């Protein structure tokens, strides 16, 4: 028999925790709620969850700090951020620190359930694809003097300096590597970064591309690798060596 999905909810509002735990239980997800970072670490030491649902605005250690800690300990546990902040820059910071998705408060609990299922499917599929890539292509792929280590998700510069990538940055870069010299729309790229299509007003992907350009030392005024195609999206202009 398949074991149930386990979720850990970190939110200082006990009523929200109780509401979400009860709602997730209706969909076969065993959820446990805690109110701060110390309680989160104790809960994870006792039993590792399949997904962490993490509020951004926590007292003491905030959600971004805890997300960074989670990613330092493991890249395999999906993290969904709960945030009352709707600004793209805030969402990109969460994605950069390793969050897999975000939900803006107030939200319909059904949306959270859908996001949980989506990130779990994507995480499992990515694990399978990562193993397949390593078998097919070896552990490393090179482009224009850069090297991407698939297993560690680290990028090495032409000067042999290691550049770490967040989950969102890795997914975005891999999407470009799989489709070199093709124009990709913002919807396609946001789907790769977050696992769902963007909204018409969601400019997070532009900021995420900008951060990836910084990692690639790509001049935003005259980019050589990540080129903006006005009105259409972005193009990765690189020769890939497998």
Q: What is the pLDDT of residue 44?
A: 93
* Separation of alpha carbons 240 and 242, rounded Å: 6
* Separation of alpha carbons 172 and 182, rounded Å: 14
Pairing of strands 162-164, 154-156: antiparallel
Direct distance between the N- and C-terminal alpha carbons of the chain, in angstroms, rounded to an integer: 40
Cα atoms in the 13 Å half-sphere on the side-chain side of 209: 26
Per-residue confidence band for 119, with pLDDT thresholds at 50, 70 and 90? confident
**122-158 b/e (C-beta count within 10 Å ≥ 16 → b):** bbeebeeeeeebeeeeeebbebeebbbebeebebbee
* Separation of alpha carbons 189 and 198, rounded Å: 9
Strands ordered across the beta sheet of 226-229? 183-184, 233-236, 226-229
Q: What is the pLDDT of residue 193?
A: 62
| Tokens 């910071």 sit on residue | 93
Question: Taking residues 117-126, what's their average pLDDT?
Answer: 78
Q: What is the pLDDT of residues 130-162, one digit of tens each?
A: 555 544 455 789 999 999 988 778 899 999 999
Q: Report helix, strand or coil for 158.
A: coil
Token code pair at residue 6 = 């386990």
* Separation of alpha carbons 63 and 67, rounded Å: 6
* Separation of alpha carbons 84 and 101, rounded Å: 14
Q: What is the pLDDT of residue 22?
A: 94
Q: What is the pLDDT of residues 13-32, one digit of tens each?
A: 999 999 999 999 999 999 99
Among 38-52, 113-127, 169-183, 228-242, the range scoring the smallest mean pLDDT is: 113-127
Percentage of the chain with pLDDT > 90?
40
- Asked whether the predicted pLDDT for residue 128 surpasses 60, the reply is no
Q: What is the pLDDT of residues 198-217, one digit of tens each?
A: 443 456 788 888 889 999 99
Q: What is the pLDDT of residue 171?
A: 83
Closest CA to 129 of 97, 232, 137, 164: 137
Q: What is the pLDDT of residues 54-94, one digit of tens each?
A: 998 898 899 989 998 888 787 678 899 888 765 666 666 77
Better-predicted residue by pLDDT, 116 or 202: 116
Per-residue confidence band for 183, with pLDDT thresholds at 50, 70 and 90? very high
User: How many residues does this entry show for the chain?
Assistant: 242
Q: What are phi and psi of 26, to 5 degrees?
A: -65, -20
189: Cβ contacts below 8 Å, ≥ 6 apart: 172, 175, 205, 208, 209, 233, 234
Cα angle at 100 between 97 and 116, to 5 degrees? 145
Percentage of the chain with pLDDT > 70?
84
Cα atoms in the 13 Å half-sphere on the side-chain side of 118: 18
* Separation of alpha carbons 90 and 82, rounded Å: 11
C-alpha Rg value of the chain to the nearest Å: 18
Query: Mean pLDDT, the chain, as a whole number?
Result: 83
């Amino acid at each position: 028999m398949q074991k149930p999905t386990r979720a850990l909810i970190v939110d200082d509002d006990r009523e929200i925790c109780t509401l979400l735990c009860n709602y997730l239980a209706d969909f076969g997800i065993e959820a446990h709620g805690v109110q701060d970072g110390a309680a989160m670490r104790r809960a994870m030491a006792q039993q590792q969850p399949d997904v962490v649902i993490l509020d951004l605005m926590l007292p003491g250690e905030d959600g971004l700090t805890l997300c960074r800690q989670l990613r330092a300990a493991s890249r395999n546990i999906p993290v969904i951020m709960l945030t009352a902040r709707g600004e793209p820059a805030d969402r990109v910071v969460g994605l950069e620190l390793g969050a897999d998705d975000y939900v803006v408060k107030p939200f319909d609990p059904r949306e959270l359930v859908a996001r949980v299922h989506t990130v779990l499917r994507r995480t499992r599929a990515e694990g399978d694809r990562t193993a397949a890539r390593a078998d097919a292509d070896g552990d490393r792929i090179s482009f224009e003097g850069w090297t991407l280590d698939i297993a560690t998700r680290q990028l090495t510069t032409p000067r042999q300096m290691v550049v770490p990538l967040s989950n969102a940055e890795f997914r975005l870069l891999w999407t470009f590597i799989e489709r070199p010299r093709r124009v990709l729309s913002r919807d396609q790229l946001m789907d790769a970064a977050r696992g769902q299509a963007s909204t018409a007003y969601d400019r997070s992907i532009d900021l995420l591309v900008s951060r990836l350009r910084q990692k690639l030392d790509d001049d935003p005024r005259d980019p050589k690798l990540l080129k903006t195609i006005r009105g259409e999206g972005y193009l990765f202009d690189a020769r890939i060596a497998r």
